[in-house]
Homo-oligomer: A and B are copies of this chain.
Amino acid sequence: MAGNSFGESFKITTFGESHGAAVGVIVDGVTPGVDIDEQYIQIQMDRRKPGQSTVTSPRKEYDIVNILSGTFEGKTTGTPLFIILYNKDMRPEAYDDIKHSFRPGHADFTYLEKYGIRDHRGSGRASGRETAGRVAAGAVARKMLERRGVSILAYTKEIGGIECRDYVEQAIETNPVRACDPEAALKMVEKIEALAAIGDSCGGIVECRIRGVKSGLGEPVFDKMDADLAKAMLSIGAVKGIEFGAGFAASKMLGSEHNDQMKAGHFITNHSGGMIGGISTGEEIVFRVAIKPTSSISVPQQTVNQNGEDHIIVTKGRHDPCICPRIVPVVEAMACLVIEDHYKRQAATHY
């Protein structure tokens, strides 16, 4: 297949370009009889949308959720749920000067190499706009996970080298960078604003915690739950790495330190990050993803055009100097999709 579907038993297929008519998603494998409405999904869409604060892009995407199939009288029917978000506020002409040139850090060059044709307007299919369909589908999965007692929470752990030292869960959604440390959040905002002023950008680290997943989920050998989470996260354009539990630090630990010993029926530590052998332990699932600095900057950069000629490019437009706060709901959405899929897949195991 051509790569626009994700999941096995709970499966999504997305479509849409940044400056096309719409983006959207078909969700297949939805449990029938679940209460779902556009308002519930809209809450997640609003967390992803631009223009939420001074540190996010001022574009207004008007991500209005429309469910066009798969529900009846407010309940899912088990048939495909189709959600569409019509694009608005498109300014394709803003991209005329990059029509024949490749922006550094963007997929302009690679899309042309792959397809021999590209929709240059706002990165086309490679735009972050594509994640809107994922967030909508993720909200559907989240609804089902709520029924199972599972909660998914992501937040900014580090931005531009500024690390969170404290963990205050209730502070996360109340600061513009979605950091778990309100003091660090202030410095992050300062840093982002300073970079925005000079047209530059920065990256960061986003952490995700999933609670309430029962033990025994995940498919050996290739479809380990962590393998599927890794794929899910790396499928987000800005993500450059992922680590579970102790992660890269595990490479410096001794076996006697890293092994999660058990006592009184539970694990004493959780260095594994909630999965061993790709199967959930029942402990909290924890992972971190590395986010690269936003590619769109107005600092002059060297590039080539489609004729192979060198030149200097300055990316204009309305962009996020740091994508972390807006990527948090995307990370959560993808995590929801993976976990719900594995719940459904596990259903077949013992049946």
Q: Is A88 an interface residue (CB 8 A)?
A: no
User: Which of B104, B113, B241, B244 contacts A248, CB < 8 Å?
Assistant: B241
Could you list some 12 contacts between A and B, CB below 8 A?
A1-B11, A2-B29, A5-B28, A79-B119, A109-B281, A110-B279, A114-B217, A126-B220, A230-B233, A259-B297, A262-B304, A264-B310
Q: Which of A39-47, A66-74, A172-180 contacts B (4 or more CB under 8 A)?
A: A66-74
**Nearest B residue to A297 by beta-carbon distance?**
B255
In the assembled complex, the CB of A250 is this many whole angstroms from the nearest CB of chain B, namely: 4
With A32-B116, A75-B117 as given contacts, are A255 and B26 in contact (CB-CB < 8 Å)?
Answer: no
A21 touches B68 (CB 8 A): yes
* CB-based contact A4/B276 at 8 Å: no
Q: Does chain B have a CB within 8 A of A54?
A: no
Chain A positions 243 through 258: 1 when the CB is less than 8 Å from some CB of chain B, otherwise 0: 1111110111111111
A231 to B227, CA, bound (A): 4
Most B C-beta atoms less than 10 A away, residue of A219, A240, A292: A240
Q: Are B21 and A69 in contact (CB under 8 A)?
A: yes
A87-122 toward B: CB 8 Å interface, digit per residue (1/0)? 000000000000000101111011101111111000
Residues of B within 8 A of A252 (CB): 160-161, 203
CB contacts under 8 Å to B, within A281-329, are 281-282, 290-297, 299, 301-304, 308, 310
Of B16, B250, B346, B349, which one neighbours A292 at CB under 8 angstroms?
B250
